[in-house]
Amino acid sequence: MKLFYYLEKNYKILYFFAMLAVALWVAYIKGWIFANFDSISAKEALALIEQKRYPIVDIRPKEQYEKGHIKGSLSLPFSTFPKSIGKLAPYKKSKIILYSKSGREGIDASRILIKEGFHPINVKSGILGLALVGANTKPELFTK
**13 HSE (CA, 13 A, CB side):** 0
Q: What is the pLDDT averaged over residues 76-89?
A: 93
**74 HSE (CA, 13 A, CB side):** 16
Q: What is the pLDDT averaged over residues 52-67?
A: 94
Q: What is the pLDDT of residue 34?
A: 63
Q: Are 78 and 104 in contact (CB under 8 A)?
A: no
Domain CATH number, residue 123: 3.40.250.10
91 and 29 fall within a common domain: no
113 and 52 fall within a common domain: yes
9 and 62 fall within a common domain: no
Q: How confident is the model over 110-130, as pLDDT tens digits?
A: 989 999 999 999 999 999 999
80 and 13 fall within a common domain: no
Q: What is the pLDDT averaged over residues 53-70?
A: 94
Residues of the chain above pLDDT 70, percent: 89
104 and 72 fall within a common domain: yes
pLDDT band (50, 70, 90) for residue 144 = very low
Residue closest to 78 by CA, chosen among 92, 58, 95, 97 = 58
95 and 25 fall within a common domain: no
Q: The domain containing residue 14 runs over which residues?
A: 1-34
Q: What is the pLDDT of residue 129?
A: 92
62 and 19 fall within a common domain: no
Q: To which H or E segment does residue 58 belong?
A: strand 56-58
62 and 133 fall within a common domain: yes
Q: What is the pLDDT averaged over residues 29-49?
A: 83
Q: Are 82 and 6 in contact (CB under 8 A)?
A: no
The number of folded domains in the chain is 2
Q: In what order do the strands lie in the sheet with 56-58?
A: 38-40, 119-123, 95-99, 56-58, 74-75
5 and 42 fall within a common domain: no
- d(C-alpha 65, C-alpha 29), whole Å: 24
Q: What is the pLDDT of residue 143?
A: 52
Torsion angles phi and psi, residue 72, rounded to 5: 90, 0
User: What does the DSSP 8-state code read for residue 91?
Assistant: G
Pick the residue with more confidence: 38 or 73? 73
> The pTM is what?
0.75
